[in-house]
Structure 1
Amino acid sequence: MMRRLFARLFWAASGWTLRSQPPEGGGGILIGAPHTSNWDFLFMLAITWSHGVQARFLGKSSLFRGPLGPLARGLGGIPVDRRNPFGLVDDLVARVRAGEHFFLVITPEGTRSKRPYWKSGFYRIARDADLPVTLGFVDRSTRTAGLGVTLRLTGDVHADMDRIRAFYADKVGINPEGWTPPLLQGEDSAPGPGGGGGGGGGGRAGGGGGAGGGAPPRPP
């Protein structure tokens, strides 16, 4: 109840509109993109809380130390050790295979500044744990945010990423200069669904971070 109330207050105060549909099923990956601002974390909280979804978030491990640690965990945070991102992916896959159900918010850009590629951890988790991927968005051009289509990744990395690129083609981040377009390193040479296509390129796994401080009092 309190989380839904916070979400309603957030949309009213921000001047943005929730344009969304509930995620499908009892668990999956929720992509958060474009990820260009500290505000993105609050948007994803408001989106998931509006739908009554108990989401988990990835965040850099420093956020879970000190007085902010209990708050970060209470919001559903999972600390990311950036020195060993592959261990996190393996742990998340193991949790799902053991029967744990959750919606995991991942920002594949991994940072608010522009990079050459998205990180591929979301793709590996979705494929290895057989989870659907729901495309969440923040779009400054329309001042809307929400959850869009839900995809089942096929293992044909390039074709799957083409569908993701098509969805985000008209989405504009809060700070457009920081946007990293959806591209996985080595996706053109990745094996198709008949060739064991899991990881989607040689990029680092993971995709944490969306939470941060130092934001202005109202989203631009």
Structure 2
Amino acid sequence: MFSYICQVLTFKIFKFKVKGNFPINKKLIVLVFPHTSNWDFIVAIGVRTLLCEEINFVIKKEYYNFLTTNFFNSLGGRPIDRSGNMNSVEKISEMFKNNEIFRIAIAPEGTRKLVDNWKTGFYHIALKANCKILPVAFDWKKREVKIFEVFTPTNNFTNDLKSLKSLFKGVKGKIPENSNL
């Protein structure tokens, strides 16, 4: 029910359109930019529902309890324990290894607030899990979710990051001043 409400909000109320096609890849990093508002989660669930695609996201395990577990799982949530010896890159890479189909949405800013630089874990996960990156823009000004072509990391971090960032030039988030491009 919540997924359907998100879909109605995204496409009927907010008037978003989807441009581009979701690929058939079984394993992907879905790189979603910009992430400037909690409303981006609603749009993401709305798009996931419209496309009928299995796309996951990670959430701190502390948010999981007897009231929220089924809710988050139904939306594609995967709890992550940030304690211990394994870092998030290792833990998410393990999720790729342990699932036949695994596509995970990651916001490179790592927060809704303005940041100077993107977090680069998504890139390292893609290399470690041997998967491609699907750039997706949430452009609130154009009311458009733009699905770009699948990007294959080359192991040249600087050039790859520059190429990925160039795709998002001009894209405006819900709160534009919270975006760093």
On whether the aligned pair clears a TM of 0.5, the verdict is yes
In structure 2, runs of 5+ residues without a counterpart are none
| Alpha-carbon separation, structure 2, partners of 1:113 and 1:6 | 23
| Alpha-carbon separation, structure 1, partners of 2:64 and 2:85 | 16
| Alpha-carbon separation, structure 2, partners of 1:63 and 1:88 | 16
Aligned to 1:16: 16
Deviations 1:5-41 (A, max 9, x none): 9635640122222223113412211011100000111
106-115 or 60-69, which moves further after superposition? 60-69
| Alpha-carbon separation, structure 2, partners of 1:57 and 1:170 | 25
| Alpha-carbon separation, structure 1, partners of 2:86 and 2:173 | 28
| Alpha-carbon separation, structure 2, partners of 1:89 and 1:161 | 17
- Match of 1:48, SS? helix
The AA in structure 2 aligned to 1:115 is V
65-74 or 2-11, which moves further after superposition? 2-11
Superposition misfits of 4+ residues, deviation over 3 angstroms: 2-6, 80-86
The AA in structure 2 aligned to 1:97 is K
| Alpha-carbon separation, structure 2, partners of 1:86 and 1:116 | 26
How far residue 54 of structure 1 moved from its aligned partner, in angstroms, is: 0.7
Aligned to 2:43: 43
| Alpha-carbon separation, structure 2, partners of 1:136 and 1:68 | 27
How far residue 85 of structure 1 moved from its aligned partner, in angstroms, is: 9.3
Q: Does 1:117 align with 2:117?
A: yes
- Match of 2:41, SS? helix
- Match of 1:55, SS? coil
Question: Number of aligned pairs?
Answer: 180
The AA in structure 1 aligned to 2:62 is S
| Alpha-carbon separation, structure 2, partners of 1:69 and 1:97 | 23
Aligned to 1:186: none
Quote the sequence identity (%): 24
Aligned to 1:135: 135
Structure 1 length-normalised TM = 0.73
How far residue 92 of structure 1 moved from its aligned partner, in angstroms, is: 2.4
Aligned to 2:90: 90
The AA in structure 2 aligned to 1:94 is E
45-54 or 161-170, which moves further after superposition? 45-54
How far residue 149 of structure 1 moved from its aligned partner, in angstroms, is: 2.1
Deviations 1:78-99 (A, max 9, x none): 2234556953321322333345
In structure 1, runs of 5+ residues without a counterpart are 182-220
| Alpha-carbon separation, structure 2, partners of 1:138 and 1:85 | 34
Distance 1:21 1:170, change over 3 A: same
Contact 1:126 1:153 in 2 (8 A): yes
Contact 2:9 2:46 in 1 (8 A): no
